[in-house]
Structure 1
Amino acid sequence: MVVGEISQERDLVIIGGGPGGYSAAIRAAQLGLSATLIEQSQLGGVCLNEGCIPSKVFTHAAGKLAEKPHLQDLGISGIDMEFNINQLLAYKTKIIKRLRTGIEKLCKENKIELIYGKATFLDENRIGVENGHQFDIFTCKNTIIATGSSPVMPLEVTIRSTRILLAHEIFNLPEIPDDLLVMGNDYIALEVASCFAALGSHVTIFIENQSGLPFDESINKELLRLFKKRKVSLINKVKLLSTAETEDGITLTVQSDKNREETFAGSYLYVSGERMPNIETTGIARFGIHQNDQGFIKVDENMESSIKSIYAIGDVTEGPRLAAKAIKQGKAAVEVISGGKPEVDLTFLPTIVHTLPPIASVGITEQDVKEHGIDARICEFPMRSNGYAAITANSEGFIKVISDTNTSIVLGIHMIGEGAVELSSSFVQLLEMAAKEEDMKFPSYAHPSYGEGLFEAVEGLVGQAIHMAPID
């Protein structure tokens, strides 16, 4: 310690104010712990300010615009539904600001000390926080690293251009591209493709190598059908070779699985990129926290790193980069620190994609059934047979249920169709409780509702679905 250095003592310091970080801070306050939350930029992290929320604003707008023919069917006419990108961007900003203000208020009401600045470990128990000309030092009993991740441009993208966009940039675009090239198959890439197509862009999706679409094979097939219907082109099994900027756009050169090179032109290129942990400025290299080859922090079942009293949560750790994971881990880490014994099991972490219509997937897929030789019953209930879907003109898609033939335990539930996101919570609960077919058939379901589709998919496993033709 240098002469004159003053270190302030803190019980718990959380570095990063994203969903995991601020949830951990609030949970700490609920448990009677004194929490200090340090945020370098803006509360809410990437999810609120650049990722999840902005993307959902755009997909919500695209969904509303797509309702125009249905509104006319309902006798609602004379409405000017021309799209204005500037108004949408203003609405996005308003929503983000409202939610961020809400988090700030919650921190204040929970008496959480909120500090803005760049936090760096000086050693295992001391953190320095730099904010302009001010530099404060804190001695911490426990620390939670919740610094998140950032997308990294693939090496094949050798040029830097305002027309090549990552996830945190695409939803700030001041125009709707005439032609949008999308490289990737993760949830953001598919949401970008779906919503920009609905907003007026001609979209071409490129999926590298052999990955293909990442869902149950029935959902993959249905999504391909819907993309084709909406004139979204999808080119699978390619290798990105190069990119180049032209006077009015971007060209993309790829190699097909048949070793044929093709070049495509677009107004803009969206690239998913690989998300890497934000650890460069944390200073953890000073004392050797265990990390994997990509730099993600290794943690145990308690979210504790290899250094006792230092925990890590969310995108900075191994595993899926999802806000739901960060929130779960953040609250659990604090409970461990307070002496509790929480359990974090991400087996049934749902896959959610806000395409048009949305996708929700939990548990094993039909591919898993075939690969592992599972004796299973499988039923797909088409949403076109659902009464409420007919009323709302949301009859595309289906609900698919997979159960074990011998035990009747439900192993997987997959849905593409309106209501999938909201129903996903029920899917997770059913799989977590190891529900059997009878458990799902016994309750009464609201009528009419999208949820009835789940009921009939389960009944269809044994040929009892009323609104579905018998399966030979």
Structure 2
Amino acid sequence: MNELRCKVLIIGGGPGGYVAAIRAGQLGLDTILVEAGRLGGTCLNVGCIPSKALIHAADAAHSLREPQALNAIGLSIGRPELDFAKTIGWKDSIVARLTGGVGALLKKAKVRTVLGSAQIVDGKTVIAHADTGESRIEAEHLIIATGSEPAELPALPFGSDVLSSTESLALTEVPGSLAVVGAGYIGLELGIAFAKLGSRVTIVEALAKILPLYDQELTQPVARRLADLGVETLTGAKAISFAKGALKVAEADGKERTIAADKLLVAVGRRARTGGFDLEKLDLTMSGPFVRIDDQCATSMRNVWAIGDVTGEPMLAHRAMAQGEMVAEIIAGEKRAFDSVAIPAICFTDPEIVAVGLAPEAAKAAHGEIRVGRFPFRANGRAMTLQDDEGFVRVVARADNNVVLGIHAVGAGVSELSSAFSLALEMGARLEDIALTIQAHPTLGEAFHEAALTALGHSLHI
């Protein structure tokens, strides 16, 4: 068995783990990263990146199948044919390019990478099991970055035609019919994509509304788009069983119904990956199923840190990255703490949703009287030229001093506005700061400016 020593040992090579490793290496800390699968973790390999590639392919295919929109701008073409195997190959090439890039960045930062499973011995020792042999690694600091995995329903175990998001991104052909259990962001992103690719899609959600983490004002445009795409949405409904291409569902009125489906996607959330590497040997304080951390990502055990999905919500790659960078800098002696005021949440549905900070109800509960400004994309010239003016930008601020508390948007391409939204909250912007910032014309960003003007009571273009 190889005997290795280092300053920093990281278990997990996803966004949080590999960023922590790169930053630690940049700071001159002797670092070892242990990853059981492929570098990049869920996000790069079977999550964020491949799903967005599939969504783009679906959007492209669907745009060619809407002759009315094409005819409006003077285009007339024949019906396109989809080679889905080639689509998947293109998606996989993007994944390979990015994971290869992560490996190169780790090497540049002088991080030693061990591709194998980890087994914790104690807070300073891990056994790494790789194809090349076993290594006993001793470290001064241990960072747990093991991420999360799809949650399974006891009545609908994964296997065969019951898919998690991972398997749905590896299909070799578009299913003729697809049932999706769960109307959160994963279920709707993939459900909409497959509907655009030609599947007959049915969404089943146990709660009373789709996208339950977002307020109804933001989700209404998505609900309308689902109907336009022919997606049937059942809310307040419970999936009971699936067999022989039939999903049995108890609807909101209590009546049972059977839905025909070639494939069933179960997308009811994700759970922390805490099993399989002897985490229990550390006897860490937990917050339910998650590792409890403070504002520096320190656990209850000295020199043991945890970052990313294993620490709970929000389970977002960019949160994990920020935490990983911070922990590396703390270990290097810098003074850092994590402030979650401006973590953007994005739902890549059609239309897209962006939420940063507090929604109106939460803002009012926390701060009393508020100002809310909205500006619709139907009054935005750029949205019109893109043939998609559904949605709006909304700004929420305190009424007494106009400090911005939350910024939200729903519409085509609004994910690219998230950086401006986050920066405004991070810098403690007031409505006047946004209103006095000159936005380029014509852009979607003008709606951000106009929403602030509306909150101040003097919108220019509505």
- Contact kept? 1:378, 1:403, Cα under 8 Å: yes
Read off the aligned partner of 2:87 and give its amino acid letter: L
Read off the aligned partner of 1:435 and give its amino acid letter: A
SS in 1 for 2:387: coil
SS in 2 for 1:209: coil
SS in 1 for 2:287: coil
Q: 1:286 — aligned with what?
A: 281
- Contact kept? 2:363, 2:405, Cα under 8 Å: no
Alignment of 1:260-409 (within 5 A): 260-294=255-289, 296-368=290-362, 374-409=368-403
Q: 1:215 — aligned with what?
A: 214
Higher alpha-carbon deviation: 62-71 or 230-239: 62-71
Alignment of 1:23-38 (within 5 A): 23-38=19-34
Q: CA deviation at 1:6?
A: 6.0
Identical aligned residues as a percent: 34
Read off the aligned partner of 1:156 and give its amino acid letter: A
SS in 2 for 1:461: helix
> Could you tell me the TM-score, scaled by structure 2's length?
0.94
- Contact kept? 2:24, 2:328, Cα under 8 Å: yes
Distance 1:340 1:211 in 2: 45
Higher alpha-carbon deviation: 51-60 or 77-86: 77-86
Q: 2:186 — aligned with what?
A: 188
Read off the aligned partner of 1:191 and give its amino acid letter: E
Structure 2 residue ranges without an equivalent (≥5): none
- Contact kept? 1:147, 1:316, Cα under 8 Å: yes
- The match for 1:18 among 9, 14, 19 is 14
> Could you tell me the TM-score, scaled by structure 1's length?
0.92
Q: 2:420 — aligned with what?
A: 426
Structure 1 residue ranges without an equivalent (≥5): none
Read off the aligned partner of 2:428 and give its amino acid letter: A
* Deviation sequence 1:174-196 (CA, Å, 0-9, x none): 12222211111321111012211
Higher alpha-carbon deviation: 89-98 or 257-266: 257-266
- Contact kept? 1:216, 1:367, Cα under 8 Å: no
Read off the aligned partner of 1:353 and give its amino acid letter: C
* Deviation sequence 1:189-238 (CA, Å, 0-9, x none): 11012211111122111111346432122112222122112222211112
* Deviation sequence 1:59-111 (CA, Å, 0-9, x none): 11122223334555444555763222111101011101111111111111221
- Contact kept? 1:55, 1:188, Cα under 8 Å: no
Distance 2:71 2:86 in 1: 23
- Contact kept? 1:237, 1:257, Cα under 8 Å: yes
Matched, 1:445 2:439: yes
- Contact kept? 2:341, 2:425, Cα under 8 Å: no
Q: CA deviation at 1:142?
A: 0.8
- Contact kept? 1:166, 1:273, Cα under 8 Å: no
Higher alpha-carbon deviation: 379-388 or 209-218: 209-218
- Contact kept? 1:217, 1:367, Cα under 8 Å: no
SS in 2 for 1:59: helix
**Alpha carbons of 1:222 and 1:62: their partners in 2 closer, same or farther (altered >3 Å)?**
same
Q: 1:417 — aligned with what?
A: 411
**Alpha carbons of 1:292 and 1:369: their partners in 2 closer, same or farther (altered >3 Å)?**
closer
Q: CA deviation at 1:446?
A: 0.3
Q: CA deviation at 1:467?
A: 2.2
Read off the aligned partner of 1:24 and give its amino acid letter: A
* Deviation sequence 1:272-326 (CA, Å, 0-9, x none): 13422222222221231222332x2111222121111111111111222111111
- Contact kept? 1:238, 1:256, Cα under 8 Å: yes
Distance 1:71 1:231 in 2: 20
Q: 2:119 — aligned with what?
A: 120
Read off the aligned partner of 1:209 and give its amino acid letter: L
**Runs of 4+ more than 6 Å apart:** none
RMSD: 2.0
**Alpha carbons of 1:373 and 1:131: their partners in 2 closer, same or farther (altered >3 Å)?**
closer
Q: 2:82 — aligned with what?
A: 83
Q: 1:54 — aligned with what?
A: 50
Aligned residue pairs total: 458
Read off the aligned partner of 1:459 and give its amino acid letter: L
Q: 2:203 — aligned with what?
A: 205
Q: CA deviation at 1:348?
A: 2.5
Q: 1:173 — aligned with what?
A: 171
